[in-house]
A and B are shown apart, each in its own frame.
Chain A
Amino acid sequence: MKKPVSGKKSIKQIKFKKAGDMPPVAISLASMLYNKTGKWRSIRPVIDLNKCTSCMLCWKFCPDVAIKNIDGKPYIDLDYCKGCAICIEECPVKAVRVEEEKK
C-alpha cells in the first residue's frame, strides 16, 4: 500500500479515478479549503475599517474562520464567508454593514 502524499495546504479537491489510487482506509489527505462555502451566501458583510476599533470580536465569533486578522485588522475572506451575519450583530461599533449578495 503506497502512502499518498499528504496535502494539507492544497485548495484543490482530491478526486480518485480508481480504487488503486485510494488509501486502504477512509483517511483525509487534505483540508476542506477546496470547498468555497462563500457561494452559500445570500448577504455580504462589509467592514468599514475607518469605524473598526480592532477589537476582533468579529474574528473571534466567526464559525467559518472567514475573518482574517491582518496586522490587527479584520478582513473578510469572501471565499468562505457563509453570510451568517454574526459579525454584523456582534460588532460593538456597528462597523460591519450588510449588502445584498449580487448573484
Chain B
Amino acid sequence: MGRGKDMNAVRKLSIPEIELMSPGHVACQGCGATLAFRYALKALGRKTIVIIPACCWSVIDGPFPHSSAGVPLFHTAFETAASTTSGVKAALEVKGNSDVSALAWAGDGGTMDIGIQALSGAVERGDDIIYVCYDNEAYMNTGIQRSSSTPHGAWTTTTPAKNFKKGPKKNMVEIMLAHKIPYTATANIAFPEDFIAKLQKARAIKGPKFIQILSPCPVGWKFPSHLTIKVAKLAFETCIYPVYEVENSRYTIKRPNTKKPVKLYLEQQGRFRHLTDSTIDEIQENVDREWEILLNRESASHVEAAKA
C-alpha cells in the first residue's frame, strides 16, 4: 500500500501499515476472521510461518496456485494445528532460525474440539509456538454447526431455535492456564491495537502462547455485514466476551467504561432472535457472575504477584 509522504498523516496510524495479506481473498463480506488475520500478520511481520488447519481460512486464503498470505503458510489437517506448528518450530530451531515465529491459526472447532489434544500436548511440552484461535463460535466453514465454543442460547444449524445451544462455551483460557502457560489472552477484532500488542508481547515470550480473538461472523451470527465491528464492540462493552490477558498467572482485564446490558449485544444477531426475556435474563445473570469471577481472579492474582 502507498506510503504516505506526509509524516503527520502516517503517524496517525494506530496499527502497522504493512499489509501481508493481499486483497482478492475469498472471505465473505464483513468477515471478522479475515480482519483478525490481517492484524496478526501486521503484528508479526515477515519473520513468521503460519500453520492453518481446516477452518474458514483453508478457503479464505484462496485456491492453488494462489494465496493471499505474504508469509509462508502450511495448510494442515483439522486436529493438527498445534502439532504441525511444533514440528515447524523444531525444524526452525534445529536449523538455527529460532527468530522466526511459528503461528498456528485455527478456528474454535479446530482449537476447542478436535484439536484440543494436540494443543494441550504442545502447551504441556512448552513448545515455543504462538497459537491463535479466531473464535467465531461455531463451525462456520461447514455451515454453522455448533462447536464447544458456541455460547448458551445460540441458534446453529445443529442447535435449531427450538432446541438452542444449552450450557456455557468452553473456557479455553482457563484450560490453558491449567497448563501453566506463560502467556494467554483474549482479544477482539474491534481493538486491533490491543490484539497486535498482545501478539508482539507473545512473540517475545519463550514457550507456548495462546490468544483467542473474538471474530464475529455476519453469515453465521445472522447480522448485516456492516455491523461486524459494532457487534464485536458490544461483546466487549456488555462483558459477555471479556478482553484480558494472563501473563505468568497475573490477570489484566480491559474494562469498558460502562457495562452495557447483554440484550444490546444479543438483539443485533439473528442467532439469538428466538430467545425469550427469561433466557435473556438468564444470560445476563451468567455474564454478571462470570464477570465478577474474572474481576476477583484479577485482584487475587495481583495479591499473589505482590506476595511473590
Contacts and interface: CB of A to CB of B under 8 A. Distances in A.
A79 B34 CA distance: 18
Contacts of B228: 61, 63, 84, 86
Contacts of B26: 32, 35, 37
Nearest to A67: B1
B29 interface: yes
Contacts, number: 138
B22 A31 contact: yes
A30 to B, nearest CB: 6
A16 B224 CA distance: 38
A72 B32 CA distance: 25
Contacts of B21: 65
Interface string B16-54: 010101111111011110110010000000000000000
Contact of A54 (B9, B24, B29, B64): B9
Helix, strand, loop or mixed for chain A's interface?
A: loop
Interface in A62-99: 63-66, 68-73, 77, 79-80, 82-86, 88-90
Contact of B30 (A23, A30, A79, A86): A86
A31 B13 CA distance: 25
A64 B35 CA distance: 8
A60 B192 contact: yes
A80 B24 contact: yes
Helix, strand, loop or mixed for chain B's interface?
A: loop
A30 B70 contact: no
Contact of A71 (B5, B24, B29, B35): B5
B24 A72 contact: no
B9 to A, nearest CB: 2
A32 B64 CA distance: 10
A65 B229 contact: no
B230 interface: yes
A79 B6 CA distance: 26
Contacts of A79: 23
B225 A60 contact: no
Contacts of B25: 32, 35, 37, 64
14 contacts: A14-B66, A31-B22, A32-B23, A33-B23, A34-B24, A40-B29, A59-B13, A60-B13, A63-B30, A63-B32, A65-B21, A66-B23, A69-B2, A89-B227
Interface of A: 8, 13-14, 16, 22-23, 26-37, 40, 54-56, 59-61, 63-66, 68-73, 77, 79-80, 82-86, 88-90
